[in-house]
Structure 1
Amino acid sequence: MITWFDALLVTLWAAVTALGARRGLSGLAWGLGGVAACFLANSLSGNALIALIISVLLGVGAGIAITQRIQNPLDQPWHLGVGALGGFAFGGVLIATLALNFPLDLRVDAKGSRGVYPSESLPPALYTAVRGSALQNGLRGVWASNSALKTLVIPDQTR
């Protein structure tokens, strides 16, 4: 079932993809640099504030390097396509992070303890939207994936 939460995530993904396309060749560097900055910030730090500072510094440094190195980002028509690809990649990381980073509930029963996502302590409208989200349900495989993907999307679950 598609919920308002899915519509919000798809709109964000489309906007970031369009921003990458609008930037052309520098959009590819911006998108892939953003994914790399998120991965590095999450893997180097166990603290959210430190990860935020690291990612901002990496983002500013990458932005300055991109504007100095890529002089004409829209010279060729194919630059729009590769820019959209960079925005698509960065948008995918953003929506996966937003879909999978709500609080967990810990449930203990005869089978042992297990995490239940999302937490039932969320406000009812948000809980219903996230629980019924098609995107969030499609991304559940990330919980059992390799550690690099978990570091990128759900860094608090890799520790």
Structure 2
Amino acid sequence: MITWFDALLVTLWAAVTALGARRGLSGLAWGLGGIAACFLANALSGNAIIAVILSMLLAVGIGTAITSRIQNPLDRPWHLGAGAAGGFALGGVLIATLALNFPLDLRVDAQGSRGVYPSESLPPALYDAVRGSALQNGLRGVWSSNSALKTLLIPDQTRAR
């Protein structure tokens, strides 16, 4: 079932993809650099303040490199497609992160303890939207995927284990 939460996520994804296309070839570097910056900040830091500082430094470095290396980002028509691909990739990471980072509940029963996502302590409208989200349900495989993907999308769960 598609909920209002899915609509917001898809709108964000489309906006980031369009922003990448508008930037042209710089959008490809911007999107892939943004993903790399997120991964490095998540992998290298367990402290939120250090992660923010590291992300800011990486963003400034990537931004400076892009503007100095790519002089004419919209010279050729394929540059728009490359920028859209970068925006699409970064948008995908952003929406996956938003869909998977609500609080968990810990449930203990006869089968042992297990995490239940999302937490039932969320406001009812938000809980119903996230629980019924088609995008969030499609991303459930991330919880059991490799550690690099979990570090990128759900870093707090990677550190918790």
> TM-score, structure 1 length as denominator?
0.99
Deviation, 1:50, is 1.3
CA distance in 2, matches of 1:121, 1:131: 12
Work out the percentage of aligned pairs sharing the same amino acid. Answer: 89
Structure 1 unaligned segments of length 5 or more: list them. Answer: none
> 3-state SS of the aligned residue for 1:158?
helix
> 3-state SS of the aligned residue for 2:49?
helix
The match for 1:43 is 43
Deviation, 1:108, is 0.2
Structure 2 unaligned segments of length 5 or more: list them. Answer: none
AA at the equivalent of 2:95? I
The match for 1:122 is 122
Matched, 1:138 2:143: no
Matched, 1:66 2:50: no
Deviation, 1:52, is 1.3
> 3-state SS of the aligned residue for 2:106?
strand
The match for 1:158 is 158
The match for 1:32 is 32
CA distance in 2, matches of 1:48, 1:126: 25
CA distance in 1, matches of 2:54, 2:13: 24
The match for 1:92 is 92
Query: C-alpha offsets along residues 71-116 of structure 1, whole Å, 9 cap, x if unaligned?
Result: 0000000000000000000000000000000000000000000000
CA distance in 2, matches of 1:35, 1:157: 18
AA at the equivalent of 2:115? G
Name which of structure 1's ranges 6-15 and 51-60 shifts more when overlaid on structure 2: 51-60
| RMSD between aligned residues | 0.5
CA distance in 1, matches of 2:127, 2:52: 27
Deviation, 1:49, is 1.9
Deviation, 1:53, is 1.3
> TM-score, structure 2 length as denominator?
0.98
> 3-state SS of the aligned residue for 1:84?
helix
